[in-house]
Structures are given as structure tokens and as C-alpha cells.
Chains A and B, each alone.
Chain A
């Protein structure tokens, strides 16, 4: 589905010893400089827009994170970053973010793998696949609306539990920590598994059936075939799925914002939400900037997981 997952052939091309355009060509120097001017014209809109609208604000946010939030803001070094160890709301937010990291690494990947493998060869699998993929086409806000309806205290889940005689299990799912964060991580998985299924199914198509037949002939059972034949061949796509759902989970704002606004209190906030809360609602831009910078570091580390894979192929 996503073209982004195709390993960029360019990474290799860029490194190839002699790209054709670098070959000495019999062109006049004036033509060469005109070529360069033309290339500049094609590059300028993208470079200027990205630099002015994205990279300059990024730099400004880093700079701002070293200044305090008093009326006359002064340089305070790392004080804003120290809030991560002293501020209760931020501590909780950091804890939640760690839970999200764990949950978005495990759930969409494991469920996606299970569903992709189960539906790869069943007759009515298309219907099952459709059920999983539909939520992926919804916006985070719409997903939040649906699950608010399911999880609220007079919602569908509690109603279903009491209908089957498990009324004692019903409670306010979004009220108590850490249960509420865990429930929201599952909601995120409900939405994010669809893309994992699509990617893993594409990966499964590239597993040559001969390798499976050979393994069967050697007496390997279904589990062994999966573990020793299929799984190793799915390694590249697995890394992409995990890296992508991790980066997306860390950046996820709309689901949390519409479902709980980070509440009750600030119990379900992750760093992505805390940044907005601190900057725009509590008017503490210094703290907000520090949160944004820490979030960036974590997201970049997560992205590195799959970028290394995509760009570093010739190194491997």
C-alpha cells in the first residue's frame, strides 16, 4: 500500500561509483552553470518552504527550551529539562510515553502478524481483513468518538459485560491510572494494526513457496515453518512496521485529545499532549519547548530503527 516502504533504490544509486551525470560530458562551462541554475530553480520552492516554515521554528523551539517562563524570560540552562524529574504531571506523562512505546512496539506488530498469517490462505479472509483495515482509514478523532461511545461508563462495553453476567467487571475504563492509559494504547492498536496487516501481507507474498514446501518435506510443522522459514524472510518488513507504528504512536495527538484531553487531571497525557497543554493552555512555553525537544529525540531514535534499514542497505 505504502510506497514509502519500498527500499529506495536511490540509496544505492547515490553511492554508485559513477552516476552518469557526473561523467565528464563535452559541455561548455557556461551550459554547466546554466544547468546548475535551472536545478536551483527546481529546488528552491521546497528548500525555502521547508527551511522557513519547519526548520527555523524547530531551531527556535530548541533555543526557547533554555529560557524560563517568568514574565521577563531569562536563560536558565537545563532547568526546563529538569522538570521531567520534579514535575508530577510530566513524570506521569513520561511514564505514559514509555507505556506507549512498549504498547506500540508489541501490539500492532504482533496482532498484524497474527492476522496477516491467518488470513493469508483462508476462504473468507477478505472479510476479516476488511474489518481490520477499515479503522485504519478513519481519523484519530473519529476513532476517539467511536471508542468514547464504547468505553464511557454507560457505554457499550459495560452494557455488554452486564448482559453476559460479568457486570462486576464493568467500571469507568478511562478513570484510573494505569488502566486508562493501557486501554487507550489498545484503542491505538485497534486503529494501527490495519497498516501492519497490509505491509506484512505484501511481505508474505515475497516468501517463495518452494522454501515452505522444502521445509514441509523435511518434516517441519506449521510453527517451525513459521519460526524458521517465514519469520526470517519477513525481517525487513517487520522492522519497518515496528519503526513506523512506534514513530506514529509517539506523535499521536488527536486520539488522546478527543478521547480524554489528557485527563482525568493529566493522567493520560503523553509527551505529544503535554507539549500542547503546557505551551498553549498553561502558558509555560519554556517547559513546552523542552518537552517538544525531548519528544523529538525519542521520535528520531525510533525513526532511526527503520531509516537505518532503508538507507543503510549497502552497509549491511
Chain B
């Protein structure tokens, strides 16, 4: 009898908690479906009409999402790619190559991920202004790639320590240069960790707002979250369904990547156990 009561209690708690989490997501979806004109100021709880593509289109033009999406894609793909390659190289040097003061190098690079972004903002802003990097794609790429290096380095260093040392030693014996060793042996061996680091940094760059609003201002430079933030600022003008549809549109790439990476992760887990 007490077992039975326990199970009821447990399931009730679980249902309540799931609802607590699901309802806001549900409302987001349902109200993004409501055609802008039919929205009368009160939230809908059930889907009764289908105007989401119309809302997507409105959000797209109202916040100029086209160039913003393209920019964020550029920053997130190129920025994290550059960062992961550089970080993998540095991890290779610190773990596998004979360097002195490896602890110093580790902390020098890794420290960047511990500091809050706020400490970089103003000096960078001033230098960007004087070097003509403010509000340029190169400037955005530079700051996004650099901010992604420390954590990627941390991941890649952890991974590099699990790579069997014999492989490298053997290749060195055969007279392979470090450069060849890195590209032809270390990088292929580290591919899965590099993919993990890449997806992690892709999401981080895509979701960034602070750098976006500090280092860019024009519609054809700023990243997509800055555009979404502006769209939310026009909440009363464009109406809730359009803003919610904009939030969905902006989140689609990271949601997709998240679930793809999750499957990738689970299959990896199965393989190793």
C-alpha cells in the first residue's frame, strides 16, 4: 500500500514538473502559430489557426533577419572552426610535444574562459574604434574566434592526454615532422573531440548578445541575437506572435545542432561502454 502511495506521489510530482517546463514552450509554439492580425491581446492556449509562415516572414522583414542570420552563420562556423584548429594545435604542443613551462602555457590560454566577458568590453571597444575594426565582420570574427579558443583548448587538451603516446613516438621514430604528425595523425585521431568542441562553440557564438551589441551596430554586420533583441524591443508594434515566431526562427539552428549532437553523444556513449 505504501509502495503504491509512493508511486502516485512520484508520478504526480513528475507530471507537475514536466508541465511547469512544457507550458512555456507550448505557449511559444501555439502563439507563434496565431496569425498576427487575429491576435487580440490575450494569449492562446490551443492551436486554432496556422499563420506561422506569415509570422516568420514578418519577423524576417521587421528585424532584417536575413543578413543577421547570414552573419551569425559566418561568425559561428568560421569563428569556431578557426578556434578549434588553433586550440587543437596548442593542445598538441602542450601535451604531446616537448615544451617547457607547460603549466604556464596551459593557464595562460585557459584563463580566458574563466573571466566574465564584461572585463574585455571597453578596452576592446576603444581599440576596435581606433583600428577601424568596429562594426566590421573581421572584427566580429576576431573577437568570436578568440573567445572560443580557451574552452576549446581545455577540451582538446583533455582529449589529447587520452591519445596513446606510442602512436606519436612511433611516427617520430620514422622521421615524420611535427607538422605532418599533427595533420595526418593527431587531427584524424581527435576528430570526435573536435566536433564536440566545434558544436559547443557554434552554439555559444550563435547565442551571444553582449559582443553583438557592443562591437556592431549596422544591420548587415550585427549577429542574429542582437536582431532578436531589437525585435523584442518593438514588441507592442509588431505584436507577440511575430516576436515569438522570430524567437523560434532564431533558435532553430541551435536546437537542430543540439539534438543532432545529443544523438551523436549517446551513440558514442554506447560504443565506449
For the complex, what is the distance from the CA of A213 to the CA of B51, rounded to whole Å?
55
Contact A9 B111 (CB under 8 A): no
* Contact yes or no, B258 A137, CB < 8 A: yes
Nearest to A279 among chain B residues (CB) is B122
Q: How large is the interface on B (under 10, 10 to 19, 20 to 34, 35 or more residues)?
A: 35 or more
The verdict on A10 contacting B157 (CB below 8 Å), with A55-B112, A142-B247, A299-B115 known, is yes
Verify if A282 is at the interface (C-beta below 8 Å from B).
no
- CB-nearest residue of chain B relative to A62? B119
Which residues of chain B are near A275, meaning CB under 8 Å? 118, 121
| Interface pair B11/A122, CB less than 8 Å apart | yes
**A28 CB within 8 Å of chain B:** no
Q: How would you classify the secondary structure of chain A's contact residues: helix, strand, loop or mixed?
A: helix
Given A49-B145, A149-B244, check contact A21 B124 (CB 8 Å): no
Distance (whole angstroms) from the CB of B259 to the closest CB of chain A:
8
Residues of A within 8 A of B157 (CB): 8, 10
Closest B residue to A54 by beta carbon equals B112
Main secondary structure of the interface of B (DSSP, over half): helix
Contact B153–A46 (Cβ < 8 Å): yes
Q: How far is the CA of A135 from the CA of B26 in the complex (A)?
A: 11
**A-chain residues with CB within 8 Å of residue B125 when the two chains form the complex:** 280
Q: Within 8 Å of chain B (Cβ to Cβ): is A77?
A: no
Do residues B114 and A149 form an inter-chain contact, with CB atoms below 8 A? Answer: no
The answer to whether B188 has its CB under 8 Å from any CB of chain A is no
A6 within 8 A of B: yes
Flag whether B150 is at the interface (Cβ < 8 A).
Answer: yes
| Residue positions of B touching A, CB distance < 8 A | 6, 10-11, 13-15, 17-18, 20-22, 24-25, 27-28, 31, 41-43, 45, 86-87, 89-90, 92-100, 102-103, 105, 108-109, 111-112, 114-125, 127, 142-143, 145-147, 149-151, 153-155, 157-162, 165, 169, 177-179, 182, 193, 196-197, 200, 203, 206-210, 214, 225, 228-229, 232, 235, 240, 243-244, 246-248, 250-251, 254-255, 258-259, 262, 265
Report 20 cross-chain contacts, Cβ distance below 8 Å, ordered by A residue: A4-B154, A9-B158, A13-B161, A39-B99, A39-B178, A43-B94, A50-B146, A57-B121, A64-B122, A64-B123, A118-B14, A139-B206, A139-B209, A142-B228, A145-B232, A146-B28, A154-B41, A154-B42, A258-B232, A280-B121
- What is A's interface to B at a CB cutoff of 8 Å? 1-4, 6, 8-10, 13-14, 20-22, 32, 35-36, 38-40, 42-43, 45-47, 49-51, 53-58, 60-61, 64, 111, 114-115, 118-119, 122, 125, 127-128, 131-132, 134-142, 144-150, 154-156, 159, 190, 193, 222, 250-251, 253-254, 257-258, 272, 275-276, 279-280, 285, 288-289, 291-293, 295-296, 299-300, 303, 307
Add 8 more A-B contacts to A42-B89, A141-B228, A148-B232 (CB < 8 A).
A46-B89, A122-B11, A128-B14, A138-B251, A139-B207, A144-B232, A156-B45, A190-B24
